[in-house]
Amino acid sequence: MTESSAEHPAEQQLEAEMLWQELAVGDEVMVEFPVCEAGRELLSPGQGYLILAKRQSASGVPQLVTESNIPGQQVTLYPHCICSYRCLSEQQLS
């Protein structure tokens, strides 16, 4: 294993944490691939989903809670699943 390949997961984790810090409740995210549970597509590529909450797991993994395709159902989403986002909150980025 080379040094660069050993650092790759750590680099991905850092990028996920930076994205999580940049996003705010009220922003909109899009996923790269469908997110399914029990055979139902909860999140679809090409569709924006509102961030309802931000949290970290007990082990420190950043998570976002978003709306889903199913009314009233929320989804826990990890930053590495996001392919695009739009800042809709009051703290918009320049």
Enumerate domains of the chain plus CATH numbers: 3-86 (2.30.30)
CA–CA distance, 68 with 61 (Å, rounded to integer): 21
What is the 3-state secondary structure of 68-81?
Answer: CCCCCCEEEECHHH
Task: For 20-42, write each residue's pLDDT tens digit.
Answer: 888 999 999 999 999 999 999 99
pLDDT values of the chain reduced to their tens digit, one per residue, 94 residues: 444 444 577 787 788 888 888 899 999 999 999 999 999 999 999 999 999 999 988 888 899 999 999 999 999 998 888 999 998 865 544 3
Confidence (pLDDT) at 31: 95
